[in-house]
Structure 1
Amino acid sequence: MTDTASPAAGNSPDHAEIIDATRHWLTRAVIGLNLCPFAKSVHVKGQIRYAISEATDLEGVLTDLETELRTLAETDPADIDTTLLILPRALADFIDYNDALHFADLLLGQLRLDGTLQIASFHPQYQFEGSEPGDIENYTNRAPYPILHLLREDSIERAVDAFPDAADIYERNQETLRRLGLNGWREWMAKTEPALR
């Protein structure tokens, strides 16, 4: 696994491209379309850890996930508030990825970190239950690579307190994507400027 939060980590061009694609998605989609009103603050403060897993199977993913969960739990939130564990070589099939989430949650419990941390899911083929693969609403959770997003429960609670309409985010995001449409999404994501709001 490559620790991209450390300046000493030697990023190969391949890793740099992975991080660049992930940051582009974060700034254009997540922040630029305001899909998560909590993301801009931690991005601007440099409190997001980008970790690339070299794992190619579930066992390797869970090993790297354990490392990242422990790291986040043991680190001052002022330094790392949230972690994006990027899986460019594993779980490319969404069904496999979705199945892996069960084991990720089991690991969270085994580490006695449920209630302290939680895991959110993003995938290039993300599909909500009851939706069709091509439905634009799925793009609220589509990222350039499979990602396990590790979040602090305390940070979520503070963010929800600051945004009283937090419960409406899911519906608002789906409406945003419906208005944009697939062609609009592609045009928006093709632009290179950060689109920070």
Structure 2
Amino acid sequence: MLLALPLLLAAGSRHRSTIVRHAVAGANDAATDTWHRDAVAATAAWALWIAAVNLCPFARKSLETSDAISYVVTEADNQKAFYAAAVACARDLAAASDVDPTAAIVFLVAPFYEPDDFPAFLRSVEALEDDVMPEASDDAIQIAGFHPAWAFGGVPDDDPLHFEKRAPHPTVSLVLVDGLEHANSAKIAADNERTLSQLGVDAVARAFAGFVSSD
């Protein structure tokens, strides 16, 4: 069952009038829907912070473009179900005709899929990117993984850079490749590292703790 619900971002946000599309996979009662809404609220708060500190040059445009962002919460707790949810999101995004392709983004939030095992989640995302997604969407979709315990190899534990890829829940973002035509990934990475270093690990960690506690 797929239940589509509008979500109004928190009052006080500079984007408080933004409406995002919220899709709940498997929601069939009020309690479940409330929990899913909380997961979306935490992810939406995180996305607003990403835009506010400019960690992603596309985030602000996506937030300010009508109907550009969709949040899909899946209850998948195994690889097969997680991949099926990602493929469904990719196909829906590739087929969408009513959203600006340079701003469209889907966040697939999977709270039950490897929430405590980052290496396993990372292996799944890599396989999804390399083997599953190209076949499912004819290379039209690019994905990126995020995890609450994301850690870059060879980077000190207290380096704020890890927060570039941390989200309140295991999450995959899906965007249209056409929308990334002019992206300079090396510059984005360098800018993100500089931004996070300037903010400092304490400030970034406090912000992240707020997203997690809001769930």
**Offset at 1:41?**
1.1
Q: Quick one: higher RCO (CA 8 Å, sep 6+), 1 or 2?
A: 1
Structure 2 counterparts to residues 136-175 of structure 1, below 5 A: 136-158=160-182, 160=183, 167-175=186-194
Alignment of 1:26-45 (within 5 A): 26-28=47-49, 30-45=50-65
1: CA distance, partners of 2:181 / 2:100: 18
**Alignment partner of 1:113 is 2:134:** no
Query: Structure 1 residues 103 and 178 mapped into 2: Cα distance closer, same or farther (>3 Å)?
Result: same
Query: Is the 2:108–2:172 contact (alpha carbons within 8 Å) kept by the matching residues of 1?
Result: yes
Superposition deviation, residue 21 in structure 1:
0.2
Match of 2:197 among 157, 178, 181: 178
The SS at the match of 1:131 is: coil
Give distance in 2, aligned partners of 1:109 and 1:166: 20
In structure 1, C-alpha distance between the alignment counterparts of 2:192 and 2:23, rounded to whole Å: 35
Secondary structure of 1:89's counterpart equals coil
Secondary structure of 2:77's aligned partner: coil
Using a 3 Å threshold, how does the CA distance of structure 1 residues 186 and 130 change in structure 2: closer, same or farther? Answer: closer
State whether residues 3 and 52 of structure 1, in contact with CA within 8 Å, keep that contact through their aligned partners in structure 2.
Answer: no
Distance 1:138 1:44, change over 3 A: same
Change in CA separation of 1:131 and 1:157 when aligned onto 2, cut-off 3 Å: same
Worse-matched range after superposition: 126-135 or 146-155: 126-135
Identity of aligned residues (%): 26
Q: Relative to 1, partners in 2 of residues 1:189 and 1:128: Cα closer, same or farther, differing over 3 Å? A: closer
Q: Distance in 2 between the 1:129 and 1:170 partners?
A: 15
What is the Cα-based RMSD across aligned positions, in Å?
2.5
Alpha-carbon offset, residue 65 of structure 1: 1.0
Paired residue total: 185
1:96 to partner: Cα distance: 0.7
Letter in 2 for 1:108: M
If each structure's strand is expressed as a fraction of its own residues, which one has the higher value? 2
